[in-house]
Every structure is written in structure tokens, then in C-alpha cells.
Structure 1
Amino acid sequence: MSVRLEEINSANWYECCQLGLSQEQAEYMESNAVSIAQTKFEPTLKPYAIYCDDKIAGFLMFNSVKEELDGYWVYRIMVDEASQGKGIGKEATRLMIEEMAKLPDADKIVVGYHPDNKGAHNLYAGLGFVDEGDRFGREMAVVKYI
């Protein structure tokens, strides 16, 4: 299995919009179409298609400027329901961390998610993100020092 990231462009944006989550997972995340639209108004957001063996399998997005907690924030990571359970999300997140580590003064990555989102919790905990007790509305924020 070969996982890679490719910036959203005119050739892949629509296919990313067609990806889906389970009904339960969709409660926790905006659609990819909304996320891609958001990047047109917030140019510091960097959207990527996740490819697995040259097929689009997911979407992710992060901010290229520091925000709360003096860290770079992950905005979205999703893997299409049909492609889940294969390690694609974990490998894509690892690749994203490598990209984010290239940002100026990158020493901290932060991601927020709903505490009931067990899939997100398992993903981030498995990659070394720790809960330092920060909360933003309904979401908890976890941190990875790089």
C-alpha cells in the first residue's frame, strides 16, 4: 500500500467532495466541499487529497500559520468510509506532520476533536499527541511536540 498527499487542485477537488463518512462520523466533521470552499477565503489553510495506490481515499487540511496554544492546527483529516481500517489515515497523518514540520518555527501541532470521537482519539494518541487539558467549546485539543 502506497499513501501520498497531493495538494487540492482542479483535477482532484471534485473527487474529494464525493468522499463520505459513516453517519456517526459525519456528526463530527464538516464536509470536504465546505472545507475546500473555506480555503478560498482563508488562504493560510492548506488542503490535500490523500491517495492510496493512486486512488483518492481521503482529505486533510491544516493551517500554515500558528494559532491558539502557539501551534499549527490540523483542521481536517478524513478517510472515505470504504477505505477505512487499512492504516491510510495514520500514514496520511504521519505525512502531514512531516509537511507541517517544515513550517517556520514548527515545534507544536495541535488538533481538536470531540471527546466522543474514539476514532480520532485512537489515531492521534497512536501518533504521540497528548491531552494537556485544553478545551475549545465542544472540542478537546491534543498536542504533538516536534
Structure 2
Amino acid sequence: MSKNTVKIVEVNAENWYECCLLQISEEQRDYIEPNAISIAQSKFEPTLKPYVIYFEERVVGFLMFNSVIEELDGYWIYRIMIDKHFQGKGIGKVATELMIAEIAKLPNAQKIIVGYHPENKGAHYLYSSLGFKDYGDRFGKEMAVIKYL
């Protein structure tokens, strides 16, 4: 997967609706909020930064992170999803790398944290392949994994 074919762009008037139409696979429905809810959340929590993921100029996914340091003294990834028709192609990994590069530009960026349900094998594989480690932190039903920059 070439980084040249994947890009992330902040949610805007031209791409938000198409982003809301994206669908996750049936087995992922219990693990992630719909994109429309996440976009709405970002309007009420302005430190959240929502992005659309493009693959070859087509909207294929969504991601969101917080631009302020939170629990565990790090920046949190709130969402990442790839439409069910584009999963398994490495798009999510490249998009997450791009997001990590954006977060690394933020003040005092020393660690990035993401929480996910332990049974979400796709999330586990993605984050562990990018160097996130489990140090035993738990938030409700989710485990929190950390990547040091």
C-alpha cells in the first residue's frame, strides 16, 4: 500500500455526508459508533479532530483524535474505521500512520493512546503492528494501549 494513494483530510462541507454513508462490517458494529455520531461529537467537543480517509481520491474511512492531552498523559485516538468494502487492503494502517504523524506535531506529544474492546481482533492487530503496547490500563470494557513517540 503506497502512502501516495491514501490521505487524510479534515471533515468539511464537501466530504462529511459521504463519510456518514460508510459502513462497517457486521462483526464490528458492537465496537464503534457511527461516523455521524462522531462528527456530531466533534462539534460539541472542539478539541476532537475528525478526518476523512481517502483512497485514490475516494472516501473510504474516518478517524478522529483529541488535540489535547487526556488520561494517562497522552493524546487519544477516538475513532478509526474503514468501509467494509475497503478493509483488508492496508488502508487503515497507512491512515493511522498519517494520523500519528499529525498527533506528533502537537505540543508535548510523547505518547498516543487508543482504547478498544479486547475482542476486537482487527483493532488489536492494527495497533500492535504500529508499536502500541498493552501496559494493563483498562477503562470500563476497553483496554488502552500506548505508543511512545
TM-score above 0.5, yes or no: yes
Match of 2:47 among 31, 44, 47: 44
Gaps of 5+ in 1: none
Matched with 1:84 is 87
What TM-score do the two structures reach when normalised by structure 1?
A: 0.99
Amino acid at match of 1:60: L
Deviation at 1:3, TM superposition (A): 0.2
Separation of aligned partners in 1, 2:105 and 2:125: 25
Cα RMSD for the two superposed structures: 0.5
* Structure 1 residues 52-131: aligned runs within 5 Å: 52-131=55-134
Amino acid at match of 1:75: Y
Deviation at 1:26, TM superposition (A): 1.3
CA displacement, residues 70-112 of structure 1 (integer Å, 9 cap, x when unaligned): 0000000000000001000000000000000000000000000
Separation of aligned partners in 1, 2:50 and 2:25: 21
Size of the alignment, in residue pairs?
146
| Aligned-partner SS, 2:88 | coil
Amino acid at match of 1:29: I
Identity %: 68
Separation of aligned partners in 2, 1:22 and 1:10: 26
Matched with 1:34 is 37
CA displacement, residues 10-48 of structure 1 (integer Å, 9 cap, x when unaligned): 000000000001111011000000000000100000000
What TM-score do the two structures reach when normalised by structure 2?
A: 0.97
Gaps of 5+ in 2: none
Matched with 2:139 is 136
Match of 2:27 among 2, 21, 24: 24
Greater than 3 Å deviation, 4+ residue runs: none
